[in-house]
Amino acid sequence: MLQLRFINRQSLLVLDNLCTKKGVHFTIPRNGSQMPITTTSSSTKKLLFRQLFEKDSSTYTYLLADVSHPQKPALLIDPVDKTVDRDLSLIKELGLKLIYAMNTHVHADHVTGTGLIKSKVSGVKSIISKASGSKADLLIEPGDKVSFGDLFLEVRATPGHTLGCVTYVTGDGPDQPQPRMAFTGDTLLIRGCGRTDFQGGSSQQLYNSVHSQIFTLPKDTFIYPAHDYRGFTVSTVGEEMLYNPRLTKDEETFEGIMKNLNLSYPKMMDVAVPANMVCGLQDPISKA
C-alpha cells in the first residue's frame, strides 16, 4: 500500500477556521469567501478545510490542511488553471505548506491547475490515479492513503464517469475528522452524477461505483463534488441515498436516464483532455 508522507519543516500561523474531530462542520459560500468558525473541540488533530469555486466551469476546488502539525501540510483537490493564483494566495495567507495538487480524474471541461502550481511552488507533487493513464508525479491506486501531517485521504476507485475516476475520503480512525468527507469528483454530484458518454464512461460502472464505494460509507459522510450547476455546496451520503433522482433508481432505469441526458460536449473538451493528460501543461513534470 502506497503511503504518501510529508517530511519538510516549516513554522506557521495559528488559524481560526478549523474543522476538527468533534467540531462543527461548515461550508464556505461558493464565491470562495471565508466564514470563520470557532470550535470547542478538545481534539488535537485539526483539519482546515475550504471549498473554493471557479465560475466558468462551475468547478469546486478543495483545500485541506493539517493545522495541528508544525508544518501545516496542505493539499488541493481539483485545482483549476484560472484560479491557481487565488488558491496560492490563500495558502500563503494561511501559512500553509502545499505538498500535493491532486485530481479526481482527467477533467473534460477545464484545464487542471496542477501543472501551473508545480511551476510556481517548488516541491509540490501532482497526483492522479494510475487508471487514468495520465502523467503525474504520483499515480495512486485503490486503497492507497495520501497523508498530510497526521491526517490522510483514502483512495477509492469509482469509475464510470471516466475509467480513472477516484473518490478521496477522509480517514477512518480515532484521530481523523468526523464526520468523514468524500470528494467524489464527477462520480456523484449533488442530486445528480457525472455523464457517462465519453472518456471510457460507463453507466453500469458508475452505478456500481456509487453503490459499492460511496453509499456504503456512513450516512453522515459529507459529499463534496467537483461541480455544481445549481448552487448546492455539500450533501451527505444519507441525503443522496434518499433523494438523488438518478442513483435511487434501479440499474436499468438509471441506464435509461443516462442514455437520454442529451448533454452537449463540454466547450473546452478538445483542449482540456489532452492538456490534463499531462497535468495541464505540455511539459509539467520537468518543471518541478
Ligand X SMILES: N[C@@H](CCC(=O)N[C@@H](CSS)C(=O)NCC(=O)O)C(=O)O
Residues within the interface to ligand X (CB under 6 A): 57, 108-109, 186, 192, 194-195, 227, 261, 263, 266-268
The amino acid sitting at 149 is G
Q: How far is the CB of 35 from ligand X (least distance, A)?
A: 27
Q: Tell me whether residue 37 or residue 257 sits nearer to ligand X (CB atom).
A: 257
Count the residues in the chain.
Answer: 288
Q: Tell me whether residue 51 or residue 58 sits nearer to Fe ion (CB atom).
A: 58
Contact between 128 and 77 (Cβ < 8 Å): no
Stretch that binds Fe ion, among 8-16, 117-125, 136-144, 178-186 (CB under 5 A): 178-186
How far, in Å, CA of 72 to CA of 17, rounded? 13
Which of Fe ion, ligand X, none does residue 57 bind to, with CB < 5 to 8 Å depending on kind? ligand X
How far, in Å, CA of 83 to CA of 50, rounded? 14
Q: Tell me whether residue 22 or residue 55 sits nearer to ligand X (CB atom).
A: 55
Find the binder of Fe ion among 54, 137, 150, 186 (CB under 5 A). 186
How far, in Å, CA of 282 to CA of 276, rounded? 9
Which of Fe ion, ligand X, none does residue 1 bind to, with CB < 5 to 8 Å depending on kind? none
Which of Fe ion, ligand X, none does residue 131 bind to, with CB < 5 to 8 Å depending on kind? none
Q: Tell me whether residue 81 or residue 186 sits nearer to Fe ion (CB atom).
A: 186
What spatial distance separates the first Cα and last Cα of the chain, rounded to whole Å? 25
How far, in Å, CA of 64 to CA of 98, rounded? 9
Backbone angles phi, psi at 214, to 5 degrees: -115, -50
Which of ligand X, Fe ion, none does residue 263 bind to, with CB < 5 to 8 Å depending on kind? ligand X
Q: Tell me whether residue 15 or residue 268 sits nearer to Fe ion (CB atom).
A: 268
How far, in Å, CA of 158 to CA of 206, rounded? 7
Q: How far is the CB of 203 from ligand X (least distance, A)?
A: 12
Which of ligand X, Fe ion, none does residue 235 bind to, with CB < 5 to 8 Å depending on kind? none
Residue closest to 96 by CA, chosen among 133, 41, 171, 46: 46
Q: Tell me whether residue 121 or residue 239 sits nearer to ligand X (CB atom).
A: 239
How far, in Å, CA of 161 to CA of 109, rounded? 13
Q: How far is the CB of 199 from ligand X (least distance, A)?
A: 8
Q: Tell me whether residue 71 or residue 112 sits nearer to Fe ion (CB atom).
A: 112
How far, in Å, CA of 120 to CA of 103, rounded? 18
Backbone angles phi, psi at 151, to 5 degrees: -105, 165
User: Does residue 54 interact with Fe ion by CB under 5 A?
Assistant: no
How far, in Å, CA of 274 to CA of 271, rounded? 6
Q: How far is the CB of 161 from ligand X (least distance, A)?
A: 6
Q: How far is the CB of 257 from Fe ion (least distance, A)?
A: 18
Residues that bind Fe ion in the complex, under the rule CB under 5 A: 186
